[in-house]
Amino acid sequence: MLRRRLRHTSSKSQHTERWLVSYADYMTIMFAFFVVMYAIAIDKEEKFQILSDSLEHVFDKSARQHSQVGDGVNGSGVLTDRVTPEQEVLYGESIQKKEQGPELLDGQSDTSNIKQKYLGKPLDSLLTKLQSALIDEIRDGEASLELNQDWLIIELSSGMLFSSGSSVAHSRAKQVVKIVKDIIDPVDNYIRVRGYTDNEVISNEIFRSNWELSVARSTSILVELEALGINSARMAIEGYGQYSPFGDNNTEKGRAENRKVVIALSKYGLPPKDSPSLEQKNIAVQTEPEVELPSDDNTIKIIRLPHGGIRITTRN
């Protein structure tokens, strides 16, 4: 009987102080709340920085204590280390902390001579529309689409667009370009029209090299897009000749794959033109001078105001 009573009393004495954990969490939250309220009323940046450092120290210490309570004395929590500093995020981490790693760039294939980076329309939505519009050409192997991080590539076979050694577009080419135009016209993404050829030597009265042929073919497609209403400021021409092959120039299949024109849409777009604000318009109106109109009566002056009204006065 005595043993039963001892077991009963010992079971009651266990975990009698667990409420202190919840109470400590509550007090920590209340402390943080009032500190934040106090921080809002601080105007000086130096005091706010001191407060921020103090909060960071308090919560870091609290996280370490809770991790030890949850996993035991020797346990380790998830948030025991500080977050990576901003400088290390920007420049990477090196083995020697004193040395600064190379600056991380956005990419090697940015659109050239664009001073301001203005993102155009999402390329994935354009890809879906082009896949539906060019389904017959894609199935016949005359066109292909590719989407990477920076560009939406529309590859058009040169055999579908031009005759051998010519830069005059077929009627079939104009139909395909019209389909592409209907999809890319409403957006503001930059367009690069690129021409490619195989390594077969060309020399005639029109083109002296594959360089000129590739540029002439890309120009022909660009002019067609411009005639259909594409904004000329969005477009540019690139000619690669035989020096950026897609396939093996030693085989007929590879040479046919290298003869193509590519319409590439950039993820960046043409920035919208800044329209003058209402305040600027009012300033422009106010800067126009008042004009005195001729009058037969010298005692009366008729003045035309800048906004178009008329003021009649007898004052000088």
The pLDDT tens digits of the residues spanning 80-95 come to 444 444 444 444 444 4
Does the pLDDT at position 53 exceed 60?
Answer: yes
Does the pLDDT at position 122 exceed 80?
Answer: yes
Q: Is residue 11 part of a domain?
A: no
Q: Does residue 249 share a domain with residue 140?
A: yes
Q: Is residue 2 part of a domain?
A: no
Tens of pLDDT, residues 180-229: 999 999 999 999 999 999 888 887 778 888 999 999 999 999 999 999 99
Instruction: Kindly compute the dihedral angle of the four CA atoms of residues 217, 221, 223, 227, in this order, to the nearest 10 degrees.
Output: 160
Provide mean pLDDT across the span 284-294: 65
Instruction: Kindly compute the dihedral angle of the four CA atoms of residues 304, 305, 307, 309, in this order, to the nearest 10 degrees.
Output: -60
Query: Full-prediction pTM beyond 0.85?
Result: no
Provide mean pLDDT across the span 241-262: 89
Band of pLDDT at residue 15, cut at 50, 70 and 90? low
pLDDT at 116: 53
CA gap 312, 292 in Å, rounded:
10
Last residue of a domain, one of 269, 290, 305: 269
Q: Is residue 284 part of a domain?
A: yes
CA gap 258, 157 in Å, rounded:
9
CA gap 283, 292 in Å, rounded:
21
Q: Does residue 73 share a domain with residue 137?
A: no
Strand-pairing partners, residue 303, are: 292, 311
Nearest to 216 by CA among 157, 172, 165: 165
CATH classification at residue 202: 3.30.1330.60
CA gap 66, 76 in Å, rounded:
9
Q: Does residue 244 share a domain with residue 132?
A: yes
- For residue 290, the enclosing domain spans 278-313
CA gap 71, 77 in Å, rounded:
8
Q: Does residue 264 share a domain with residue 128?
A: yes
Last residue of a domain, one of 104, 132, 150: 104
Q: Does residue 134 share a domain with residue 71?
A: no
Nearest to 130 by CA among 179, 75, 66: 179
Name the more confident of 298 and 163: 163
CA gap 57, 22 in Å, rounded:
21
**Residue 154 and residue 145 in contact, taking contact as beta carbons nearer than 8 Å:** yes
Q: Is residue 30 part of a domain?
A: yes
Q: Is residue 12 part of a domain?
A: no
**Residue 178 and residue 117 in contact, taking contact as beta carbons nearer than 8 Å:** no
pLDDT at 107: 47
Of all residues in the chain, what percent carry a pLDDT higher than 70?
Answer: 67
Element at 268 (helix H, strand E)? strand 260-269
Q: Does residue 299 share a domain with residue 253?
A: no
Q: Does residue 75 share a domain with residue 155?
A: no
Q: Does residue 148 share a domain with residue 265?
A: yes
Q: Does residue 60 share a domain with residue 135?
A: no
Does the pLDDT at position 31 exceed 70?
Answer: yes
Q: Is residue 295 part of a domain?
A: yes
Mean pLDDT score of the chain: 76
Q: Is residue 5 part of a domain?
A: no
What's the total number of domains in the chain? 3
Q: Does residue 202 share a domain with residue 91?
A: no
Q: Does residue 204 share a domain with residue 73?
A: no
Does the pLDDT at position 74 exceed 70?
Answer: no
Look up residue 91 and give its two tokens.
Answer: 């420049």
Provide mean pLDDT across the span 294-301: 72
Provide mean pLDDT across the span 44-53: 67
- Comparing 88-102, 177-191, 229-243, 267-281, the range with the smallest average pLDDT is 88-102
Tens of pLDDT, residues 145-162: 999 889 999 999 988 888
Last residue of a domain, one of 104, 134, 168: 104
Q: Is residue 241 part of a domain?
A: yes
Q: Does residue 176 share a domain with residue 41?
A: no
